[in-house]
Amino acid sequence: MSRPGGTSGSAAPHLELRGLGLRRGDRWLVRGLDAVIPRGAFVAVVGPSGVGKSSFLSALAGLLAPAEGEIVLRCASGHAHHPAEPALQRRTGVIFQNNLLTPNASVLVNTLAGRLGRHSAWRTLFGFPRADRVAAYRILCDLGLGAQAHRWSCQTSGGEQQRTAIARALLQEPDLYLADEPVSALDAYLTGRVLGLLRQEAREHGRTVLCVLHNAELVERFADLALSFDPADPANWKLREVRR
């Protein structure tokens, strides 16, 4: 299997979906989804509103149990895991659609929360190690949030909150990024900057990215693969290579 559109990184499979079926209540969102996503691929997840894109990412994050089939994540050594395992969640960076930030905690602390999985509860009881704080501040500066670091996240704008959520995921340095509309509140420049960073993560560090995007132009510009869902027929999903 060759890595579509990729220039570097391993072509080993990272994510395997075997006959995956997801449902919300009585409604099937996806059925019979069979796909293999190679490590380091940037996959755009597309489809109209309400089709089940967020549910699909939730299932990959271990927050929604599949109704049928299974999701297998392979670590670098080839061992298979399932998304709900705590050790694996630590290596899965989720950018939630509604950001899920703590409103009365600073932008810096919200970002640092991405490193919680690396430390014991005792270590983080009174704050984070200096190295983490330095790394978090660097990422915030990269995303133009350096001046906001000590403001409560509820005192920042919608776009700044979205970038804080992105910074949290970047600081986590996960194997797999699950980004649910990560640029919906950003302007054209920041959209390019954020998707460029995620693409760099995929290319240079072999970190697989699954990103919900609504803009066809962005899909063509950044993605290697595009996975689309059909609201009328849950079994009519498509995975295609993006040609540039």
Q: How many angstroms separate the CA atoms of 236 and 189, rounded?
A: 34
Site for another protein in 8-27 (CB under 8 A): 13
**Choice between 78 and 86, CB closer to another protein:** 86
Q: Which listed residue (20, 37, 59, 145) binds another protein by CB under 8 A? A: 37
Is residue 104 within 8 Å of residue 154, measured between CB atoms? Answer: yes
String of DSSP letters for 221-243: HH-SEEEE--SS-TT--EEEEPP
Binding mask 69-88 for another protein (x = CB under 8 A): -----------------x--
Q: Is 28 in the site for another protein (CB under 8 A)?
A: no
- In degrees, rounded to 5, the angle at the alpha carbon of residue 61 between the alpha carbons of residues 18 and 206 is 80
Which candidate, 47, 23, 20, places its Cα nearest to that of 32?
A: 20
Q: Is 154 in the site for another protein (CB under 8 A)?
A: yes
Q: Is 176 in the site for another protein (CB under 8 A)?
A: no
196 versus 231: smaller Cβ distance to another protein: 231
Determine the Cα angle at 78 with ends 74 and 83, to 5°: 20
Binders of another protein among residues 88 to 107 (CB under 8 A) are 89-94, 96, 98, 100-105
Instruction: Determine how many CB atoms are found less than 10 A away from the CB of residue 210.
Output: 24
Residue among 91 and 193 whose Cβ is closer to another protein: 91
How far is the C-alpha of 193 from the C-alpha of 186, rounded, in Å? 10
Separation of alpha carbons 166 and 148, rounded Å: 15
Please identify which residue in 72, 74, 129, 215 interacts with another protein, judged by CB under 8 A. Answer: 215
Would you tell me which residues interact with another protein (CB under 8 A)? Answer: 1, 4, 13, 34-38, 44, 46-50, 61-63, 86, 89-94, 96, 98, 100-105, 109, 113-114, 116-118, 120-121, 124-125, 152, 154-155, 158, 161, 168-169, 172, 213-220, 226, 228, 230-232, 236-242
